[in-house]
Structure 1
């Protein structure tokens, strides 16, 4: 059965600044990797039909459960839909020999102006069975905290 995981957060920044951080590769590398990981893009073309290849590396390989190697997750993604100031939709696949990591996960990032800033909502649909719900929730929330820190200098 397909699983959907989601997380959201209000960030004290304008919708334009938040949205820009969702489509700029340099900004993404400063906030997207969850705690305990670093990342780099091997390619990045943000337009509908464009794609990226992201290599995420665990800081502590002994505690890692990498999807591609013992200490890395490699992500191949295609931008399905980009609506400036509204949403970014990606079709994401993990490079892995493990069938539990197989399938195309749809990641949707939506931004909405609210009274004290911008609500950012992440939704992951068709999450591979091999991704722990608790670990995924922690990763999504960690990335949102990193985004808040990136934009405002405060993770709270």
Structure 2
């Protein structure tokens, strides 16, 4: 099991960033890498609350973990500290043993340089998930989150 660690500075207050981490419509917009679309099936943003999300590749040549073109994952919110931290446990919906197992995503928010420093850690990546692809996906998603927090629009 591996981990991805990534940070990002956002020119917006922690409260704004935190709100976007727990808003289903916002999550559908920012937590999706370029080249994919997102569908939020379930989203209950409270400790113990569950969520279920599908990310579908735009191009038919890509391979999903759940179906030919889709990665569906479900999880729960383990810890929510207003304006400071979101901890989730997630798992892909798949029969492929190379990508099964629970992963923990911890997002910490801190005041920094007139905005917010986001520190994200994705622990417990299954062996079948590429570290490089996971990091790239997180960089793209956090870039979208930053744009949404700063301007209300996606790039």
Residue 116 of structure 1 deviates from its aligned partner by 2.9
Kept after mapping to 1: 8 A contact 2:34/2:140:
yes
After TM superposition, the structure 1 = structure 2 runs for residues 36-115 of structure 1, keeping only pairs within 5 Å, are: 36-62=35-61, 64-115=62-113
Residue 155 of structure 1 deviates from its aligned partner by 7.9
- Aligned-partner SS, 2:147: helix
Residue 4 of structure 1 deviates from its aligned partner by 1.1
- Aligned-partner SS, 1:61: coil
Supply the distance in 1 between the matched residues of 2:43 and 2:11 (Cα, whole angstroms): 27
Supply the distance in 2 between the matched residues of 1:38 and 1:6 (Cα, whole angstroms): 24
Structure 2: segments with no counterpart, 5+ residues: none
Kept after mapping to 1: 8 A contact 2:8/2:119:
yes
Kept after mapping to 1: 8 A contact 2:2/2:131:
no
Give the alignment's Cα RMSD to 1 decimal: 1.4
Deviations 1:47-95 (A, max 9, x none): 1111001011111121x12110110000111111111111111110000
Residue 110 of structure 1 deviates from its aligned partner by 1.1
Residue 3 of structure 1 deviates from its aligned partner by 1.0
Kept after mapping to 2: 8 A contact 1:10/1:116:
no
Structure 1: segments with no counterpart, 5+ residues: none
TM-score (norm 2): 0.95
Supply the distance in 1 between the matched residues of 2:4 and 2:145 (Cα, whole angstroms): 18
After TM superposition, the structure 1 = structure 2 runs for residues 4-23 of structure 1, keeping only pairs within 5 Å, are: 4-23=3-22
Deviations 1:97-148 (A, max 9, x none): 1101111000111111112310111111111111111101100100011111
May I ask how many residue pairs the two structures share in their alignment?
154
Supply the distance in 1 between the matched residues of 2:60 and 2:149 (Cα, whole angstroms): 29
Stretches (4+) displaced over 3 A: 153-156
Give 1:145's match in structure 2, choosing from 143, 146, 150.
143
Kept after mapping to 1: 8 A contact 2:101/2:126:
yes
